[in-house]
């Protein structure tokens, strides 16, 4: 179901002192989605509107990342995936790409304490091999330091593309067939899922996209086939906890038929 949601208005209402309860208080904690994914969009437009260099949009986006992670942890969400850098983003100007990589490394260093405090299990989805060396060290440290954590799993999609992920899965399966591990007729949806970047993670129930754009942009192409979508005009650097709560309330008001004729369940 593709739906434009009045996130800005909902966020404004959450700050009204006359409101009987906050958006967070309205969320049914018994019906949370198992997995929320976010396409973080609008950093460049945020900067351009303020006559700032584009990099300032990316730097201010870190606040939105922190707010979203904290909101998800506070609610007890099991899985959160953030789309940080796509395989197509390498085509951006080299200066912007370098600045993004530096910001990614800085984020890993500064936010590791937060992840440890909240028992967050940090994961990367995508191909890390192309990332520069100065990113590899803090990345590997964050992955190792949070490996035993049992709280929310935070997946950061970096150098990620849905089609690239599927090509990788097909190659891995073909190699397994060559080794005689199974026959072509044994290949089913479960086998394909086991060879994606998220073999032990439930498919996203909710995908949020900021900035008003309404497309998936090569994100979780296999996993997102039955996800509910929440589109908000809010640019990512302005996205806050109230916006996240608004998206969850929108999701909880949906009826998910999952291809059937009657609702299978209200939430994932």
Active site residue 41: yes
Task: Tell me whether residue 149 is one of the annotated catalytic residues.
Answer: no
Q: Which of 16, 28, 79, 89 is catalytic?
A: 89
Q: Which residue among the candidates 16, 25, 28, 41 is catalytic per the annotation?
A: 41
- HEC string of the chain equals CCCECCHHHHHHHHCCCCCCCCHHHHCCHHHCCCEEEEECCCHHHHHHHCCCCHHHHHHHHHHHHHHHHHHHHHHCCCEEEEEEEEHHHHHCCHHHHHHHHHHHHHHHHHHHHHHHHCCCEEEEECCHHHCCHHHHHHHHHHHHHCCCCCCCEEEEEEEECHHHHHHHHHHHHHHHHHCCCCCHHHCCHHHHHHCCCCCCCCCCCEEEECCCCCCCCCCCCCCCCCCEEEECCCCHHHCCHHHHHHHHHHHHCCCECCCCCCCCECCC
Residues with active-site annotation: 41, 89
């Amino acid at each position: 179901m593709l739906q434009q949601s009045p996130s800005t208005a909902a966020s404004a209402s959450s700050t009204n002192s006359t409101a009987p309860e906050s958006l967070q208080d309205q969320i049914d904690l018994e019906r949370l989605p198992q997995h929320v994914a976010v396409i973080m969009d609008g950093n460049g437009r945020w900067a351009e509107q303020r006559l700032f260099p584009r990099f300032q949009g990316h730097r201010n986006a870190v606040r939105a990342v922190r707010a979203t992670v904290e909101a998800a942890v506070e609610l007890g969400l099991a899985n959160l995936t953030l789309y940080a850098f796509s395989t197509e983003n390498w085509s951006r100007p080299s200066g912007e790409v370098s600045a993004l990589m530096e910001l990614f490394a800085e984020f890993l260093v500064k936010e590791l304490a937060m992840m440890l405090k909240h028992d967050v299990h940090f994961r990367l989805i995508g191909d890390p091999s192309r990332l520069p060396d100065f990113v590899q060290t803090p990345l590997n440290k964050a992955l190792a330091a949070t490996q035993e954590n049992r709280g929310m799993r935070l997946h950061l999609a970096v150098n990620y593309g849905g089609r690239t992920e599927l090509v990788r899965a097909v190659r891995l399966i073909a190699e397994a067939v060559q080794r005689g591990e199974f026959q072509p007729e044994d290949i089913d949806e479960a086998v394909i899922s086991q060879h994606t970047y998220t073999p032990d993670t439930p498919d996203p129930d909710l995908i949020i996209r900021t900035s008003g754009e309404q497309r998936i942009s090569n994100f979780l192409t296999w996993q997102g086939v039955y996800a509910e979508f929440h589109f908000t005009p809010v640019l990512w650097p302005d996205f806050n906890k109230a916006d996240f709560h608004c998206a969850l309330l929108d999701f909880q008001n949906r009826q998910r038929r999952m291809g059937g004729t009657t609702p299978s369940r209200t939430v994932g």
